[in-house]
Structure 1
Amino acid sequence: MSAAQLLAWISVALLLQLSTGIAWTLWRRSTARAAGEGAMPAPHARADAAWSGWREFRVSRREYEDPACTQCSFYLQPVDAQPLPAFKPGQFLTFSLDLPGGLRTITRCYSLSDRPEPTHYRVTIKRVPPPTDHPEFESGLSSNHFHDRVQVGDLLRVKAPSGHFFIDPDAAVPAVLIAGGIGVTPMISMLRWSLVHQPQRVLHFYYGMRNGREHAFKPQLEALAAAHPLLRLHVAYSRPDASDREGLDFQHKGHVDVELLRRTLPHGRHQFYVCGPPAMMQTLVPALAEWGVPLTDLHYEAFGPASIRQPGSNDAVEAAVAVEVQFRRSGRTLAWDGRDASLLDFAERHGIAVESGCRSGGCGSCETRVLEGSVQYEHTPDHDLAPGHCLLCVGRPASALVLEA
């Protein structure tokens, strides 16, 4: 064999070895990709696909969920058609809404009301009538905008799912989901996720409202309870109509309170999740703590974090009084005297324009940098703050302050 032939054989052998290595690598990658396609993301890990800032969604469907047509679900699909991150069951979306006339934009947060789906999100919004005695108040501004103006095909600006109120993944501990009124929305999300991913978990679902006209998701909840023996459904009407049938439409007359829980829950440890209007939260959450539920097993979300005091809290967390608060950009230095519920209220009372949205620590619109001093909160805000920043809507000064606002 000549030297040229030998060199040719060696070259062929090297090429075969190289092509075999490349083929092996490609096969390993395709196998790993195929395995990953069927895997579910960890339910409480931050999804890699979560976006920053605003993303456009199109309303693909509207559907009323209660006989009175006061609670409407909006199905949202991303305009860019990219997959959606798997949010944590119980979290919310933040919306930027352009009011009629184009003169004003408001920011509001609404809980997701279904388990994560790769193609769409769903929020369910209850119409809130504006107060007749104080028409200048903004209660109901966004909910009426959704009900009256947001139609199928419309585009909405949405921030990625957020919030610290979500179900614990420990399926060994029975979960007690307690909802009052429209507080049912995050509970539906938790319930539907648990039934799919934790079918062995015992679930107790308590849902309170005035009567059958306000009973949202009634057919769906009854069907789920019939299909899942480990789901125990308890519906309470506080003021049932003549047509409401006890034992069929509802199981308990009155409110969802700790006495009802004492009568109907089995002994043992439970994880409690509570969401409802202020009157419910102000009585039920402290009562659960007094009953002996450990704070680590008590999770709740009020309609605005400031509407309920943390169980076990005391006056030691009260904000400082008689301190100076300087708003650097506005060029104002003012004396905080403790009469305002938050720094946002304080700023607005003195005519300082500050951007705001949800006014409950969720959307982050009023976030501003703290140049000097410190701010404290009665509750940890749902919005994840940047280092060195604060939320004016739920914050109060713990010392003299210099704010960038």
Structure 2
Amino acid sequence: MTALVELHIVVAAVLGVLSMLCLVASLSLGRNDALTWTAAALANGTLQTLVIAFASDRLVEFLSAAVLAPLSFLAASQAMACLGPALGHRLRTIIAVGALSMAAVGLHLINAPFPVQAAAFELACLLAMIDLVWRVRHHPASGLQTAFKFVAYALLATTAMRLLMLPLHFGPNASFELFKTSLAENLFFGAASVLTPFATILLLARIILETTQTLRHRSERDGLTGLFNRRSMDAKAETTGQGGAVIFCDIDHFKGVNDRYGHGAGDAVICSFAHLLDATGQTAGRIGGEEFAIILPGREADEAAAVAEEVRLQFHHSIHDALPLDERLSASFGVATYGVHEAARHAFERADAALYAAKSGGRNRVVVHGPSAPLPTQRSTDKRRAA
């Protein structure tokens, strides 16, 4: 067995193992699209490398290169597309790459000069690589992203140099056998063999990091509004430091919205209110059906009350697409403070008492906790939530 065949086998083994790992990881995560496309790209690369190593028929070897190599780059590009912002021109690229691959097959079948045949499929690979690099450039900057971008550019340069080398180094009448056994081709193949697994590892690290962040986000956030959920708010309320204020808020007569217009309209109203809370720039969360809380570290009672009043006015004057144009909704707010080195959770009961006072006092108002705002009993809290 020659050293070149052994190299192909090693490369195929590495790509095959990475493909299986990607597929298993994708299935374990409930079908992660980025991992699935990465597995497809690696599987294509594995098959192509094995064909190059063992195929005795020149037609089979050329067809594998002309079809599988561009497909590998397109699959890798699609994996990056799953991780980044939506970009257009995807269908045009696929059509162009497919047309060039088919042109390479056609040129081979009519026995065109090998450099002409190879130029068509190398152009297909180059176009797919350009699409990959273009998508990489639109991803947010990070250490992993910078490293992957560097490797992607190196692969792109390797593909471009290989395309230019065919006519310049070998001439227009070079044979397939001369090209395959040349030192230049072996060097290019060796470079691609090193860069491809390295790029795959970086891509996998990026996918794992992003998947971990997504899972953490889902565990911390409310599924409907995107605000922090009750568990996250309780955890954040344990932090001590500079003191601050807490706002509890509740949409007035929310049950009536659901009863009259349906739960879809109710969800839209909740999302609209949550958007106003999120726009305050403070730590906001949904702690119940139509109940919300805001933690404002370092803020005094009057500052928190001003924030609550601004949200109250905006919500009361909002037009809701799911409701009649003349329908106006309101919300009630309770404000309480907590001291230096005191956890925000210590103000939760006081803010809840102030919220109950706002509901009892006619709703659509902001009440700051004080001596006149008694702590709520379980019965009064249940009555307010029923409203």
TM-score over 0.5 for the pair: no
Q: TM-score range by the shorter chain?
A: under 0.3
- Rg comparison, structure with higher value: 2
Instruction: Pick the structure with more strand per residue.
Output: 1
Instruction: Pick the structure with more helix per residue.
Output: 2
What is the TM-score with the length of structure 2 in the denominator?
0.21
